[in-house]
Amino acid sequence: MRKGNMMGGGKGANHFKRRLVSREPMLGTFVKVPAPQNSEILGLEGFDFVVLDEEHAPWDRGTLDHALLACKAYDIAGLAG
């Protein structure tokens, strides 16, 4: 079960950065399907971050914005790259 608040009152970007700098183990994956539902599901499943893979998938500004908003809502760090 996902820890924290599902609708955005969670840890945020500073928590992710702090864990990254301290080299804590985290769970993440690359997402190539340009849709916000993927980020929501991964956030609910307990992932710490997703990389929205703009290089190898057809993301555009709109789909990227929606996916990043879903990341924020489901307390998962969204990294665009």
**In this predicted model, what pLDDT tens digit does every residue of 29-78 receive, in sequence order?**
999 999 999 999 999 999 999 999 999 999 999 999 999 999 999 999 99
* Pairwise CA distance, residues 64 & 74, whole Å: 15
State the pLDDT confidence band at 15, using cuts at 50, 70 and 90: confident
Alpha helices in 1-81 (DSSP H): 12-21, 36-44, 61-73
Which of 56, 58, 60, 81 is the catalytic position? 56
Q: What is the largest CA-CA distance in the chain?
A: 33
State the pLDDT confidence band at 3, using cuts at 50, 70 and 90: very low
Tell me the mean pLDDT in the region 3-31.
Answer: 77
Is 66 noted as a catalytic residue in this protein?
A: no
Position 12 pLDDT exceeds 70:
no
In the beta sheet, which residues pair with residue 52?
31, 80
> What was the pLDDT predicted at 81?
86
